[in-house]
Amino acid sequence: MSFPWANHYQPKNPFMQWLDSRLPLPRLVYNSVGAGYPVPRNINYLWNFGVLSGLALLIQIVTGIVLAMHFGANTLVAFDSVEHIMRDVNYGWLLRYAHANGASFFFIVVYIHIFRGLYYGSYKAPRELVWMLGVVILLLMMATGFMGYVLPWGQMSFWGATVITNLFSAIPVVGDSIVTLLLGGFAVDNATLNRFFSLHYLLPFVIAGVVILKIWSLHIPGSNNPTGIDVKGPADTLPFHPYFTAKDLFGACVYLIIFSVFVFFLPNYLGHPDNYIPANPISTPAHIVPEWYFWPFYAILRAFTIDFILPAKLWGVLAMFAAILLLFFLPWLDGSNVKSNRFKPVSKQLFWVLMLDLLILGICGGKPAEEPWVRISQIASMYYFAHFLIILPIVSRIERPLPLPNSIAEAVLGKSEPAPATAAAQPAE
Amino acid sequence: MVRLFGIAIGAVFCVVLLFAALAPREATEVDPTLAFHEHPKQVHWSWDGPIGLGVFGGYDRVQLQRGFQVYKEVCSSCHSLNRIAFRNLTEIGFSEPEVKAIAKNWAVEVPTINSETGEAATRPAIASDRIPLVYANEIAARAANNNALPPDLSLITKARHDGSNYVYSLISGYADVPANFPADRRPEAPLHYNPYFHSLAIAMAPPLSAGQVTYAEGQPEPTVDQMAQDVAAFLTWAAEPKMESRKRAGLGVLAFLLILTTLAYLSYRRVWAGIKH
């Protein structure tokens, strides 16, 4: 598909020949995730996280569809129906704990997937659209995760929804109308719950659609790799099947083990106790916190505490959205002609500073809006924007990268050895 | 062009944040009562298991039954447990006839309607009924309790941080107001001082006193500490009745996955044998 030396689909089974000549679905699979897709041979375990994200999405969709069979999207029964699932539905506790923890794990693998892209420059040409479609998926995931958290109709559901939808009122002129439109009324109520349920059911399938576009777009240049240099010949690649299917199966098993530890032994560790209290519009929790995967962005939102020409709230909302939207422009903000941080000593260190910065922002986002957390989150937010919008554009243009290997094969096999024959890259018998 | 725009936008955000970070803070008054809060006392529960990580331990049925007795004879006069049906009590070791008797003799009857007149009426509970509400509604509950609302206890151990330890500590942890407690913040009647409660002043009077409940022959002495542990264990079961099947399934799933992972790893090594990468 992507490279001239890719294996071609030649079905031997008469039925597959018959099917392939009428509906080339086996061919599509073969060329996408089979032996017909050549992948750089040197990709490391961080490249497992794309497949893991797909697995996490699948788990969410399957558990979510079954949960929806038992859930009542009405403020009068939503909380009770969740407890009914936990107590009376066969394996309902498993479905719900898998779905609630599955959301957290989906974000964990997607964040690692994004950090891998940042470190190895996977967002750079020719993969800009792959990256941008990924940012679209991230935004859709955030919307889905947020609306899903509202559905159990606990205290954090209700008050989280109140706080987050209220952000849109910061938009000048039309803000209040937008909030009314979002909520279906003047406060978070049954209309809100019902539309959030509808959208929460819809968006995962939109995500699945964007995933297909993303994989399609990825298959034009093929996967990036830890050296960041382009694939040049057959010696650089191995067919996806059996090499990376085997590796992905192993990675998926490890993922499922960690996931199972949370689902079966720490099911409420990532949740908030207040969400086991039914929503009560006249009792505000002491600290309203969103789910952990929103904490860095929640910290940025709350870091803007002074009215500077614009109201502080509007600054916070603009900054929070800008913090994600700026990722769309990353392929052009980064002016380096080398992709991988492996060959960029300064950028590599800056990457780890960014990781530390995100960790600090995450911690601040989970804390109450008090000192010293507010000031720390202000400084950390400053670095976040400076990193992507000022430091990266400048450093990427002036940094002198280390010498690159001539090819992936050379990087892997060393200069002394002759490039192996293509036979080595054939599927094992 | 993108880079110039980016630098400009980044500079604007950074300047605003810099002003915000440098802006003087109003001196925040530290709540003088904060220092009097205490973290829940840590109990080694049966479900913490032998190694304390909560992987193996299950519920102690005998303890849960004692806890149910405390709930029934003490807590249930104010607190409902409305997500539990009488039939669920078979899960903690009561026989069906015992459950039927418990339901039938429950102090509060189940609301119903008179099948002839259609007027509101009550009937004795049956095993399939949920444990009836103590008060018909929130107003009735507040009216009977100095405007305080006794929460339903079905989920209480999951609705509080460190819930089992919290419930145990709260009901066994009433204390006299410390001498150095700020005078203007002292809980006044009908509130009671409790260092485990979020506001330190709780409307519930100390619910337990030694020997308040008579445990069956051969059971531990009903001290406040013992009763508090027993009822906290019972409420932990009420909040998470599927914990034992969850852990059992988890061990099976992990055993299966460990074998599958080993096989997957061996296949991976075999497929990649001799391939440099």
Q: What DSSP line would sit under B41-101, residue for residue?
A: PP---GGG-TTSSSSS----HHHHHHHHHHHHHTGGGT---TT-BGGGGGGGT--HHHHHH
Query: Would you state the pLDDT for residue B183?
Result: 87
Write out the two tokens for B57.
Answer: 């331990």
Using pLDDT thresholds of 50, 70 and 90, give the confidence band for residue A95: very high
B220 burial level (CB within 10 Å; 0-12, 13-18, 19+): middle
Using pLDDT thresholds of 50, 70 and 90, give the confidence band for residue A415: low
A230 and A364: one domain?
no
A261 and A384: one domain?
no
Please spell the DSSP secondary structure of A253-294, one letter per residue: HHHHHHHHIIIII-TTTTS-GGGGSB--TT---SS----GGG
CATH number at residue A213: 1.20.810.10
A224 and A127 in contact (C-beta within 8 Å)?
yes
A310 and A246: one domain?
no
Q: Does A167 touch chain B (CB under 8 A)?
A: no
Of residues A254, A335, A394, nearest to B261 (C-beta): A254
What are the two backbone dihedrals, phi and then psi, of residue A239, each rounded to the nearest 5 degrees?
Answer: -70, 145
Q: Which residues, in sequence order, are CB contacts of A131 under 8 Å at separation 6+?
A: A117, A122, A123, A327, A330, A331
How much is the average pLDDT of A143-150?
97
Model confidence at A333: pLDDT above 70:
yes
Catalytic (active site) residue A223: yes
Query: Max alpha carbon distance in chain B (Å)?
Result: 87
Catalytic (active site) residue A291: yes
Q: How far apart are CA A177 and CA A179, in angstroms?
A: 5
Contacts of A398 in chain B (CB under 8 A): none
A299 and A385: one domain?
yes
Of residues B14, B28, B246, nearest to A93 (C-beta): B246
Closest residue on chain B to A397 (Cα): B3
Contacts of B251 in chain A (CB under 8 A): 264
Q: How far apart are CA A249 and CA A184, in angstroms?
A: 45
- The sign of the CA dihedral A44, A50, A51, A53 is positive
Q: How far apart are CA B102 and CA A190, in angstroms?
A: 38
Segment B87-124, tens digit of pLDDT: 999 999 999 999 999 999 999 999 999 999 999 999 99
Contacts of A305 in chain B (CB under 8 A): 20, 23
As for how many domains chain A has, the answer is 2
Contacts of A262 in chain B (CB under 8 A): none
Amino acid at A221: P
Query: Would you state the pLDDT for residue A419?
Result: 47
Catalytic (active site) residue A248: yes
Using pLDDT thresholds of 50, 70 and 90, give the confidence band for residue A225: very high
- The domain of A392 spans 289-400
Q: How many CB pairs under 8 A join A and B?
A: 162
Min Cα distance A377 → chain B (Å) is: 9
A244 and A294: one domain?
no
Using pLDDT thresholds of 50, 70 and 90, give the confidence band for residue A242: very high
Contacts of B272 in chain A (CB under 8 A): 243, 246-247
Query: Would you state the pLDDT for residue A328?
Result: 97
Q: Does A238 touch chain B (CB under 8 A)?
A: yes
Query: Residue A248 domain-assigned?
Result: yes
Using pLDDT thresholds of 50, 70 and 90, give the confidence band for residue A362: very high
- pTM for this one? 0.94
Min Cα distance A22 → chain B (Å) is: 33
Q: What is the pLDDT along chain B (277 residues), one digit of tens a residue?
A: 888 999 999 999 999 999 999 988 887 778 888 899 999 999 999 999 888 788 889 999 999 999 999 999 999 999 999 999 999 999 999 999 999 999 999 999 999 999 999 999 999 999 999 999 999 999 999 999 999 999 999 999 999 999 999 999 999 999 999 999 998 888 888 899 999 999 999 999 999 999 899 999 999 999 999 999 999 999 999 999 999 999 999 999 999 999 999 999 999 999 999 888 8
Query: Residue A15 domain-assigned?
Result: no
A78 and A71 in contact (C-beta within 8 Å)?
yes
A180 and A50: one domain?
yes
Query: Would you state the pLDDT for residue A423?
Result: 43
> What ipTM does the predicted assembly reach?
0.94
Q: Does B255 touch chain A (CB under 8 A)?
A: no
Q: Does A270 touch chain B (CB under 8 A)?
A: no
Write out the two tokens for A88.
Answer: 């009376």
Q: Which CATH class is domain B38-82+133-239?
A: mainly alpha
Min Cα distance B221 → chain A (Å) is: 33
Query: Residue A282 domain-assigned?
Result: no
Q: How far apart are CA A236 and CA B17, in angstroms?
A: 47
Query: Max alpha carbon distance in chain A (Å)?
Result: 75
A165 and A84: one domain?
yes
Query: Would you state the pLDDT for residue A55?
Result: 98
Domain ranges of chain B: 38-82+133-239, 242-270
Q: CB distance B277–A335 less than 8 Å?
A: no
Q: CB distance B246–A308 less than 8 Å?
A: no
**From A20, A274, A291, A410, the catalytic residue:** A291
Query: Residue A103 domain-assigned?
Result: yes
Query: Residue A146 domain-assigned?
Result: yes
Query: Residue A413 domain-assigned?
Result: no
A268 and A292 in contact (C-beta within 8 Å)?
no
Alpha helices in B132-185, H assignment, sequence order: 138-144, 163-172
How much is the average pLDDT of A169-177?
93
A93 and A235: one domain?
yes
Query: Would you state the pLDDT for residue A412?
Result: 87
B22 burial level (CB within 10 Å; 0-12, 13-18, 19+): exposed
Contacts of A281 in chain B (CB under 8 A): none
Model confidence at A67: pLDDT above 80:
yes
Query: Would you state the pLDDT for residue A370?
Result: 85
Q: Does A72 touch chain B (CB under 8 A)?
A: no
A305 and A244: one domain?
no
Q: CB distance A265–B6 less than 8 Å?
A: no
